[in-house]
Copies of this chain bind each other. A is one copy, B any other.
Amino acid sequence: MSTKVSDSTIRRLSHYLRILETLERSGGGTVSSTHLAQAAGTTAAQVRKDLSLFGSFGKRGLGYQVADLGDRIRGILGLDRSWPVVLVGAGRIGSALFEYRDFRRRGFEIVSVLDRDARKVGVRWGPIEIEDAATLEAVIARESVEMLILAVPAPAAQEIVDRAVAAGVRGVLNFAPVRLRTPDGVFVHNVNMVMELEALSFDLTSREHGLEVGRGD
C-alpha cells in the first residue's frame, strides 16, 4: 500500500474524481470501471489498476459506489482538507490565477498575494491586499502555508523558492520557464505553456512530413 505510485496514475485519479463529481451531482449510484474509463479516455483495466494501488473500493459484479469512491480518491489525493496557498507574482498570470475559481472549488485557497513591485504593493484584489515580496517568510509563517504558486519572471524564481523553502514551503507550482533546484522533500510541478505549444508544433510538423500515426484515408 505504500509502493511507488506513478505521476500518470495521480493525474488519472484527479481526472476520475472530476468525473465522479459530475456523477454525484446527477444522482450518484454506482459506476463501472468501463464507464469511468470511457469518460476519462482510458481503459477499464487501467482504472482498476490505478484504484487497486490504494485498496479495494469496488464490489464485484456491481462496480463502485460513486459517493464512496469520490471520498476515497479525495482522501488519497489529500483533498479532504483545505490548502492555503501563497501566490507570488501579481502580473498577468498571477492575476488570472487569482481569479481562477476552480482552485477554491477544490480547496486551494490563495490566502496571500505578494509582489516585488512597489507600485503593486497595497493594491486590493477583492478581499486581499498585495503584500511586499520582502515579507515572504513572515507571510508563510503567519498563514501556515505549505504550497506556493510561483508566477514571477524566470530570473527571480530561484531566489523566491529558496526563501520559501527555508520558511517551510514543501510544494511549488511553478509557471516560470526554469528548472528549479530544491532539496529532497520539496516537490515542484511545472506548467510551461510554451513547451506545450512546441509539442503541438512538433505534432503538426511531423504529420506533415507523413508519419505513420494513421488516418487511413
Contact = CB atoms under 8 A, between A and B. Distances in A.
Given A95-B96, A202-B78, A185 B197 contact: no
A209 to B, nearest CB: 8
A78 B204 contact: yes
A14 to B, nearest CB: 5
B106 A197 contact: yes
Contacts of A18: 177
Given A102-B177, A184-B214, A171 B92 contact: no
Contacts of A17: 198
Interface in A149-196: 170-173, 177, 179, 184-185, 187, 189, 191, 193-196
A147 interface: yes
Given A95-B92, A96-B95, A146 B199 contact: no
Contact of A2 (B100, B147, B212): B212
A44 interface: no
Interface string A26-49: 000000000000011100000000
Q: How large is the interface on A (under 10, 10 to 19, 20 to 34, 35 or more residues)?
A: 35 or more
Contact of A204 (B97, B170, B197): B170
Nearest to A205: B78
Interface of A: 2, 5, 7, 10-11, 13-15, 17-18, 39-41, 76-79, 83, 85, 92-93, 95-97, 99-100, 102-103, 106, 108, 146-147, 170-173, 177, 179, 184-185, 187, 189, 191, 193-207, 209, 211-216
Can you list the 6 inter-chain pairs with the closest CB atoms, starting with the nearest? A78-B205, A96-B96, A187-B203, A171-B200, A78-B201, A92-B96
Given A92-B100, A103-B197, A170-B207, 20 more contacts: A2-B209, A2-B211, A14-B194, A17-B198, A77-B205, A78-B205, A85-B197, A95-B96, A102-B193, A103-B193, A106-B197, A108-B197, A171-B203, A171-B204, A173-B196, A184-B216, A185-B213, A187-B200, A187-B203, A191-B193
